[in-house]
Structure 1
């Protein structure tokens, strides 16, 4: 009797295994046949003020694929990166460094499109990594008439996340390159910048570009790294030229969270570095080739480029601004090699 029971159990388990192999989890086999696509968003784009922008992109995806879109907002870069790499998310909008980390975890993660530059090409498809200080404190970071990072040692510094391209990878590489030319810091590494006591007196992480900027404006940090595009909805140029060391930016009076606590506060740029634009990426294990091509066609269409809810006017709140000929362009993995090479 016991032996017969074991045989029955074995047969049942075999049938279940066969059924799983035949039908299986479509998320793991590139099917997306459950009728849903999940898109993960970094903390920078997860706020309530970005809901309309997320919904607009979601509608484009739904119309292109015929599938329902679910939005996965996050509070940490690594959540979005791991979600895409593991297949718990099908798509994500992420920085170049985050994409590279997800691709390293799972080479089935591939870029879909990136927003072009104002020329409508990849030639100027960049945004900018800023190092900023509170307005009035900038003289400590000058060498003659020019701004310099020589005096950032032993200061309180705010990064965004160690998975952020413009909020960690690019500025940390710039700092290491600059200081390693000095005998005292010839062995300096990016790892030495991760926590206080080795180079900075204290290191903070904003969790988002907005959070890093607020760390600066609330005097938690002396210097902060964050990017232009992620704070453009909250600040305005007060003096100087856009994306130029020495320029001053001011928080708008009606700025949304988290800047609503620091209206009118000003900061000054001491360093500006161009960074490759952030991609929409997808997991080709969970998104079918048919859906991938449909998404490329939709994103790179003239209709998308002229959609004022996607590429919003310069004075409007949105993810992408329309200043000239901005559009989405298909891009390959190798395009991100300049950022990948920073880790070599």
Structure 2
């Protein structure tokens, strides 16, 4: 039942009229790193979680890996999604926290890369284990994306647009598939493909296309007026924003950069944006390279991460009323739950 529901969620991107909307070098906290050898174990992070503000969260999660494996964790930080994917796929890291699309890419390159847990929804289960992919515009520009009082995406064509990375689920894969699905029903764009969204120009779908490199980067492209519309997700931005009006994660919601927001938003306090499209996306997995871990280590990782005590660790599941930065929020019964490879088939379907 659950699998059918999730598959339907993915397929609606391809078949439904709704829009499903979320470079450089690696940097590392280690001085060397030979993954899987000796007493060290390398854990790789996407750019979104590689910032200084996430250090406490990374360290707390790393402590879980150390508890499960008995090895010292070396955190490999990145500034490029592709580097994180290649690090996992090329046996340079045994553990990683990847987005759904990044995991699918790593798994395709190396089938030994598998998910072991995801953060649940408020129910404490997989049934609501989703976050949201947004298309957003600056406050004051939102009316041009309305028709008969409702938000539509027709007018994003011809605009300056920012994605996150082409390996991002909510910051590229989902919104690009939704755009192609929506505009592909129009005669003018009946032959449109995702590849047509990668570059801008006078004869292109968008007038200009930027890639933020992270969800924070895509949002900054919008807030700095480098683009008119941007794709990014709620999960990362929740650390920097507060709801001004509308319903949480709903189309039409208005958010502003909150007081005390950390970099890169510390110079954007009070700046507002409007979500013109919001769609649920499968939560991101903790992944492991099973060729670099013993069977016992793999089993212990699941056991340690799903221990009820972990859900009560404020450094990992940050309380909803806390100002701390973290990858996961604790609003009710959120926790880590075991997940199978097949759970991500709806994301794979977006590439077919």
Q: Equivalent residue for 1:142?
A: 146
How far, CA to CA, are the matches of 1:343 and 1:54 in structure 2? 30
Tell me if 1:42 matches 2:46.
yes
The SS at the match of 2:287 is strand
2:64 aligned residue (48, 60, 65): 60
The SS at the match of 1:157 is strand
Q: Which has the larger radius of gyration?
A: 1
CA deviation profile, 1:205-255 (whole Å, cap 9, x unmatched)? 000000100100000010000000111111110111101111110001211
The SS at the match of 2:218 is helix
How far, CA to CA, are the matches of 1:178 and 1:274 in structure 2? 17
- The gaps in structure 1 that reach 5 residues or longer are 1-26
How far, CA to CA, are the matches of 1:290 and 1:188 in structure 2? 48
How far, CA to CA, are the matches of 2:48 and 2:37 in structure 1? 30
2:199 aligned residue (170, 174, 195): 195
How far, CA to CA, are the matches of 1:160 and 1:111 in structure 2? 22
Report deviation, 1:274: 0.3
Tell me if 1:213 matches 2:219.
yes
How far, CA to CA, are the matches of 1:267 and 1:299 in structure 2? 36
How far, CA to CA, are the matches of 1:202 and 1:142 in structure 2? 22
How far, CA to CA, are the matches of 2:115 and 2:90 in structure 1? 16
Q: Equivalent residue for 2:114?
A: 110
Tell me if 1:299 matches 2:308.
no
Q: Equivalent residue for 1:239?
A: 245
The SS at the match of 2:126 is coil
Q: Does 137-146 or 312-321 show the bigger shift?
A: 312-321
How far, CA to CA, are the matches of 1:77 and 1:287 in structure 2? 23
2:164 aligned residue (141, 156, 160): 160
CA deviation profile, 1:92-118 (whole Å, cap 9, x unmatched)? 101100000000000010001000110
Report deviation, 1:33: 5.3
CA deviation profile, 1:252-296 (whole Å, cap 9, x unmatched)? 121111111211100000000100000001111112211111110
TM-score (norm 2): 0.88
Q: Equivalent residue for 2:177?
A: 173
RMSD over aligned CA atoms reads 1.1
Tell me if 1:90 matches 2:87.
no
CA deviation profile, 1:13-45 (whole Å, cap 9, x unmatched)? xxxxxxxxxxxxxx89xxx45121111000000
Q: Equivalent residue for 2:31?
A: none
Q: Does 254-263 or 147-156 show the bigger shift?
A: 254-263
Q: Equivalent residue for 2:21?
A: none
The SS at the match of 1:162 is coil
Q: Equivalent residue for 1:267?
A: 273
How far, CA to CA, are the matches of 1:160 and 1:82 in structure 2? 18
How far, CA to CA, are the matches of 2:232 and 2:63 in structure 1? 29
Q: Equivalent residue for 2:232?
A: 226
Q: Does 247-256 or 66-75 show the bigger shift?
A: 247-256
The SS at the match of 1:83 is helix
Residues paired across the two proteins, number: 315
How far, CA to CA, are the matches of 2:45 and 2:39 in structure 1? 20
Q: Equivalent residue for 1:122?
A: 126
The SS at the match of 2:315 is coil
Tell me if 1:251 matches 2:287.
no
- The gaps in structure 2 that reach 5 residues or longer are 1-33
Report deviation, 1:308: 2.2
Report deviation, 1:301: 1.0
Q: Equivalent residue for 2:210?
A: 204
CA deviation profile, 1:160-196 (whole Å, cap 9, x unmatched)? 0000000000000110000000011000011100110
